[in-house]
Chain A
Amino acid sequence: MNKPELAWKVQNSSHIGVVHPNFVLRDKHLALVYELRDLKERIDRILRVQIMAFETIQYLNEQGDLAKGYSPKVADDVVIKAYKTMVVTRHVDERMLTLQRQGIITFSLSSLGEECCSVAAAAALSSDDWLYPQYREVGVMFWRGFSIQDFVHHMFGNAKDLNKGRQMPNHFGSRELNVVTVSSPIATKIPHAAGCGYAMKLQKEPTISAVFFGDGATSEGDFHAGMNFAAVLKVPTLFFCRNNAYAISTSLDHQFHSDGIAPKGEGYGVATYRVDGNDFFAVYDTVAEARKHCLEKGPVLIEAMTYRMGAHSTSDDPTRYRKKGEIKEWQEKDPVLRLRRYLEKQGLWDDKKEKKLWEGVKKEVTEAIGVAKKTPNPPLKTLIEDVYCEVPKTLQRQIDDLKEFFPEDPS
């Protein structure tokens, strides 16, 4: 039995092509297997296919060099935009952490080290595709054009927060951007994405739904429910798992005994890929390919191998459970650094551009924080709004009573 650590270590493979050759092979085998009538033969063949371990697709190595023979399928300006989005994400995360430490906001979560997963995936999808992110996918918001100001308002939970201050920070979402608002339970959205995909299929829309979650979420029943429904009903849904090595403090070997998450996808008859989650090109190409597969054949699971370089949240202390030297090893694999090295080697980026980018982002965030600080809290009446489509009499009576205690409330 493979230990989970084996899967988690990104292998430096140099497989070339849009689809990993191993995947094609498995796909072919399985297609044949599913045609077999004889159950015994079928099981025997499935077992033989499963012996082929999932390898990790990687096109861009840690030094910023592309695998031999690989040429990017994405235009340079898209890569540059993705790099900038990752930098914005990283800087905003850093500033929010500071604000939390200063007691200005209540909480924050960082996607440090995992920015590539969300940004590259969002870049490879259509803006009409519906996304169901987790709290570590801030990158999809910035990719889709959510402003830093809107995000900071959300983090303050003020009157301009789209959630009206009802949820904790990092529970972003936008109807306008087709990003479904995050909720804290880690896997509840997985069957939602399958249902959304089903609706798209019925409405004959050429779009997919994509749901993002961590390795810990795959232990929840909702992961299995969502995957199984999607497979049975052949819905256009992409399941994107960031295997970032930890669920708060729980390590992979306490989470599952399988070869990572990928074999679970196959267990449900869902096409499955494993990619280096810190490699922009591997994630981009695989998601683009998966999108096509979703529309033509049905759901796809992608296991993206990455690492949570930050703490789980501002309430966490990772020094108590991280293995020695782990962080250093992963700093070398940093997705932002890796893409910068690539862009510099291609002559598409330099120190001057880097400095300008950081300065611009810093200034924008500082200004956004200033505005958010001056923005009031949501008015009292928002407490009873949106629980039902109309405010019932019972809630109106409750808020009328409450208002007596808060005479200064404007609502």
Chain B
Amino acid sequence: MNIIQALNLTLDQQFAKDDRLITFGEDCGAFGGVFRVTEGLQKKFGEARCFDTPLCEQGIVGFAIGCAQKGLKPICEIQFADYIFPAFDQIVNELAKMRSRTGNQYTAPVVIRTPYGGGIHGGYYHSQSPEALFLHTPGIKVAMISSPKDAKGLLTSAIKSEDPVILFEPKRIYRAIKEEVPEEEYEIPFGQAEVSRAGSDVTLVGWGAQHHQNMQAAEEVAEEYDLDVEVINLRTLNPLDLETLSESVRKTARCVVAHEAPKTGGFGAELSALIMEHCFLHLRAPVWRCTGLDVPIPHTLEEEYLPDAYKVKQALVKTVEY
């Protein structure tokens, strides 16, 4: 099963169990979404619970907030993370603040699903990784999917969450990564990173589609340089599993953070600072950030821009040789 199918299965199962659930967005109704995540839901659960909206992201999120205040559980889709910005005000000023600004009187536990990231030659407006912008906003949880199993577990947790969640989906590997996914319901709790590969020489941390580049780099350096890399997939960036990360860095004394988003102000910077605070005396090399450039993500030179396995490999070697 691929990531699309895992997400679709999760929605289908949760819709059948809980009639408070509704889903909507651009082309999400009869068409099933441009990536087909909501395929078949309208036919099965009716137009009132799965529908197309006008092309207006601030409307989609704002409308979802109202639905949630009144007791529904909206799962809305922003067609590409690059188009989330018209809804930025709704997310930052309303969604994230609803519980606190009303003194816990009103809540808006909306789930926003949105495909993000490069690797499909989508250029400036179909490739961005804007996760860091939402990590600077208290009140909203941020999850990053990297596999079909994670897709099901994280979406289930997001649906059950009483806090608003943005779920970033790795469109590049939507269909490329396949694995067995349990049929029955399960949750992957937020704030629980996965140590995908145990190792002793360097800690390599990432999330989403990047995680697969990291895994490949780890295998390659094992073979080529006999380096034993511990690879961590964070799964959720807020809440952050700092315990797993710092425990690993204390053991390996070295850390590389890799993400597709631009370097400056990216989440790698925050992780680097946290590792300084929590692991300073254990470190034998500076934390290395292997990221996109501080430029908009390009169309033609996309592969050159992205921190692929080759670049990650160089970062690992440099960190060990420091």
On A, residues with C-beta under 8 Å from B are 130, 161-164, 166-167, 171, 173-175, 180-181, 183, 185, 188-200, 202-203, 209, 221-222, 224-226, 228-229, 232-233, 385-389, 392, 394
Contacts and interface: CB of A to CB of B under 8 A. Distances in A.
Interface string B25-39: 000000000000000
Contacts of B90: 188, 191, 222
Contact of A389 (B54, B58, B61, B99): B99
Interface size class of B (residues with CB under 8 A): 35 or more
Contact of A226 (B62, B70, B71): B62
A229 B51 CA distance: 12
Interface of B: 22, 48-49, 51, 53-54, 56, 58-59, 61-72, 74, 86, 89-90, 93-94, 97, 99-107, 138-139, 141, 161-163, 191, 239-240, 242
Given A188-B94, A221-B86, A173 B105 contact: yes
B139 A202 contact: no
Contact of B105 (A175, A198, A199, A228): A175
B101 A166 contact: yes
A209 B66 contact: yes
A162 to B, nearest CB: 5
A58 to B, nearest CB: 32
A232 B70 contact: no
Contact of B103 (A162, A197, A222, A233): A162
Given A188-B94, A222-B58, A202 B99 contact: no
A389 B190 CA distance: 13
Given A188-B93, A221-B86, 7 more contacts: A181-B102, A191-B90, A195-B67, A200-B70, A385-B104, A387-B100, A389-B99
A199 B54 contact: no
Given A130-B70, A202-B22, A195 B63 contact: yes
B104 to A, nearest CB: 4
A222 B191 CA distance: 33
B67 A183 contact: no
Contact of A181 (B51, B61, B89, B101): B101
B101 A192 contact: no
Contacts of B71: 199, 203
Contacts of B66: 191-199, 209
Nearest to A231: B54
B29 to A, nearest CB: 12
A387 B107 CA distance: 10
B239 to A, nearest CB: 6
A195 B191 CA distance: 30
A60 B177 CA distance: 70
B53, B94, B102: most-surrounded residue (chain A CB, <10 A): B102
19 contacts: A162-B102, A162-B105, A185-B94, A192-B62, A195-B69, A196-B66, A196-B69, A198-B63, A198-B67, A199-B69, A225-B56, A225-B58, A225-B59, A229-B54, A385-B104, A386-B103, A388-B99, A388-B139, A389-B99
